[in-house]
Amino acid sequence: MKSVSSNMSKLTDSNRASSSRRSVLTGAVAVITLVTAACTPIRDYRGFVAQEDVLSQIQIGMNRSEVEQIMGTPSATSSIDGKNYYYISSVFETTAFFAPEEVDRRVIAFRFDDTDSVSNIANYGLKDGRLFDFISRKTPTKGKEVTFLQQMFGNIGRFAGSGTALEDRITGGRN
């Protein structure tokens, strides 16, 4: 009788252990699935998304109104002479909690001549140029940014004059 009850308790213990293992395994699979799903990048399409069949309808010599009818309102136009239309689209990817990163950009440029007919069609991508922020109106320049301390202490030891600045102004630097 004792051996039957000890066998039953062993079976119950092994059932609990296998059930516990199954729960842990199921939990691990669920966590791995959630982590993998959270790390999948999310693609965000912004701007004019050009389709090849629509672009193929535009031909050299078409007038401005025909281009607008097929393509719609441009994303930007040239501000100087208004002879360029730009259709701009970007693709951004966001992975988990990181900031969105631009992975693709496409700029389709139409140049119009004096008769408002298409004279040139250009297609640019992200690799064709540097990133440029159209909103802030700031163009990156060459050179270096100087900090406040560099401005304050940058000219120490660079004065070549023997007198004071006031004397140099009065005499024109002549002694």
* pLDDT over 70 percentage in the chain: 66
More confident call, 152 vs 139: 152
Number of CB atoms found within 10 A of residue 92's CB:
17
Residue 14's domain comprises 1-39
Same domain, 35 and 45: no
Q: What is the pLDDT of residue 161?
A: 55
Mean pLDDT, the chain, rounded, equals 76
More confident call, 106 vs 132: 106
pLDDT, tens only, 12-53: 655 666 677 888 788 878 777 777 666 788 899 988 887 888
- How far, in Å, CA of 48 to CA of 41, rounded? 21
Q: What is the pLDDT of residue 115?
A: 92
Same domain, 16 and 3: yes
Same domain, 78 and 163: yes
Domain count, the chain: 2
**Does the structure show a pLDDT above 80 at 147?**
no
Same domain, 129 and 164: yes
Q: What is the pLDDT of residue 96?
A: 80
Helix, strand, or coil here: 162? coil
Question: Is the distance from CB of 70 to CB of 58 less than 8 angstroms?
Answer: yes
Q: What is the mean pLDDT of residues 60-75?
A: 92
Same domain, 23 and 55: no
Same domain, 25 and 56: no
More confident call, 114 vs 31: 114
Give pTM, 2 decimals.
Answer: 0.54
Using alpha carbons only, give the angle 165, 168, 172 rounded to the nearest 5 degrees: 150
Look at the block and give the residue holding tokens 């097929």: 70
Q: What is the mean pLDDT of residues 135-160?
A: 65
Using alpha carbons only, give the angle 46, 82, 84 rounded to the nearest 5 degrees: 55
- How far, in Å, CA of 90 to CA of 106, rounded? 6
DSSP state of 41: P
Same domain, 2 and 22: yes
Same domain, 26 and 47: no
pLDDT, tens only, 78-107: 888 888 999 999 999 988 888 898 888 888
Q: What is the pLDDT of residue 63?
A: 93
- How far, in Å, CA of 39 to CA of 33, rounded? 10
- How far, in Å, CA of 64 to CA of 114, rounded? 11
Same domain, 33 and 45: no
Number of CB atoms found within 10 A of residue 82's CB:
11
